[in-house]
Amino acid sequence: MLDPKRLRSELDTIAARLAIKGYTLDVARFQSMDAERKTLQADMESLQNERKSGSKAIGALMKSGQTDEANAQKTRMSEVGEALDSAKARFDELAEQLSQWMLEMPNIPDASVPAGKDESDNVQLRVVGERPQMDFEPKDHVELGEAFGGLDFDRAAAVSGSRFAILSGQVARLHRALAQFMIDTHTQEHGYTEAYVPYLVQAHALQGTGQLPKFEEDLFKAGDNHYLIPTAEVPLTNLVRDSIVDELPQQWVAHTPSFRSEAGSYGRDTRGMFRQHQFDKVELVWMTRPEQSWDALESLVGHAEAILSKLGLHFRVVNLCGGDLGFGAAKTYDIEVWLPGQQQFREISSCSNTLDFQARRMQARTRNAAGQTEYLHTLNGSGLAVGRCLIAVMENYQQADGRVAVPQVLQPYMGGLTHIG
């Protein structure tokens, strides 16, 4: 949620920044609502003062025996009370309308976010590693996995419908090995605390991180007030809701399944495992003081990059343009891994700084050097998407005979296996 005070004082500037996200802020509507709010506030203060002075006057009139005047004043005070109740009711109604509207306003893009409409306008920052050289026509992960029985999309569809997969045998083991390798690297080398979190959360948790109310169609609802998590970012970030946190920064990591309806992705990436309703992800979440968050973003993306470098994969890092930037993000770096089967870079991690956007929604605060409370900052990123990393390993390490070499860092997690398939 945006800072209401900043929105009032920098309305035109904020409207211009939000426009690069493709969001049109109704400036006239906000000004009208805010003007009515100020008028009501002034009216309530005036009525409260009149009621206070009128109550004193009634006592004085009664004491001096001026009964008629006292009764007239009582009648006036009754009218004042009714007017005050009416003003309060409208003020509360207006505040609720404004609050609900602001819940659907996206975060303000940082000045370093480039303008642009979609992913074609993202700015490449660096390219790491080399593309694998193959003297044969590379296959995609679907061909590879189905050839040796490790991936089954038909049986998954029979059980659950489209956008699901069944992994078995060595492919399932490689998938598990990747997740364990990521968790071990982040906890042992990058300073994260591992967490096991619920896969079901209540609506207020999703409101805190920004998925609700705007993106309910992207979620799977379970029961009256529970939803399956779209990412571990939701339970991890909500660890600090309604609290004042003095020990910062905090770094959390969790391996969970993620559940997404992919409502806006009809027809996209229908082949294989790339875009599914259920997928595993190792999620990284930071909570920092405001002055720490930009340095934390660089650390966060570096930790995600380290996983790909250890796996020997070719990737690039891009700065997302405004049109491709997520709802809650002030700035996002995407990491895109090279997939030989598609002959292109594809996203495997998004690392974002949300500044105080989520903290305001969650009422998560810290104390500054002067002892005053202020909203902390939150960041999140994939470290990495496990299924997409499995795709990358299978396609980049495929052999001419159809087998897949196991990266050296994963072999201890695979019982010493050097190849699968």
| 55 assigned ligand-binding residue | no
C-alpha 194/C-alpha 211 separation (Å) is 24
| 354 assigned ligand-binding residue | no
Q: Are 51 and 84 in contact (CB under 8 A)?
A: yes
Q: Beta strands 250-259 and 278-288: pairing type?
A: antiparallel
Q: 216, 347, 367, 403: which one is catalytic?
A: 347
Q: Give, in order, the Cα–Cα distances in Å from 201 to each of 9, 41, 205, 315, 377.
A: 36, 37, 6, 34, 22
3-state secondary structure of 234: helix
3-state secondary structure of 389: helix
Q: Are 342 and 369 in contact (CB under 8 A)?
A: no
DSSP string for 26-81: -HHHHHHHHHHHHHHHHHHHHHHHHHHHHHHHHHHHHHTT-HHHHHHHHHHHHHHH
CA-wise closest residue to 354 among 316, 319, 383, 381: 381
> Residue 388 catalytic?
yes
C-alpha 33/C-alpha 145 separation (Å) is 58
Block residue for tokens 């997928």: 279
| 216 assigned ligand-binding residue | no
Q: 37, 275, 316, 403: which one is catalytic?
A: 275
| 283 assigned ligand-binding residue | yes
Q: Are 304 and 359 in contact (CB under 8 A)?
A: no
| 382 assigned ligand-binding residue | yes
| 299 assigned ligand-binding residue | no
C-alpha 19/C-alpha 163 separation (Å) is 33
| Residues β-bridged to residue 200 | 228
| 237 assigned ligand-binding residue | no
Q: 258, 293, 350, 352: which one is catalytic?
A: 350
DSSP character at residue 290: G
3-state secondary structure of 151: strand
> Residue 275 catalytic?
yes
Q: Give, in order, the Cα–Cα distances in Å from 233 to each of 253, 312, 381.
A: 9, 27, 8
Q: 17, 163, 173, 260: which one is catalytic?
A: 260
| 260 assigned ligand-binding residue | yes
C-alpha 303/C-alpha 318 separation (Å) is 15
| 350 assigned ligand-binding residue | yes
* Burial (CB count <10 Å: 0-12, 13-18, 19+), residue 32: exposed
> Residue 260 catalytic?
yes
> Residue 176 catalytic?
no
Q: Give, in order, the Cα–Cα distances in Å from 15 to each of 83, 214, 323, 358.
A: 36, 19, 15, 20
| 262 assigned ligand-binding residue | yes
Q: Which residues are annotated as a binding site for ATP?
A: 260-262, 347-350
Catalytic residues, which ones? 260, 275, 347, 350, 388
Q: Which residues are annotated as a binding site for L-serine?
A: 231-233, 260, 283, 380, 382
Q: Which residues are annotated as a binding site?
A: 231-233, 260-262, 283, 347-350, 380, 382
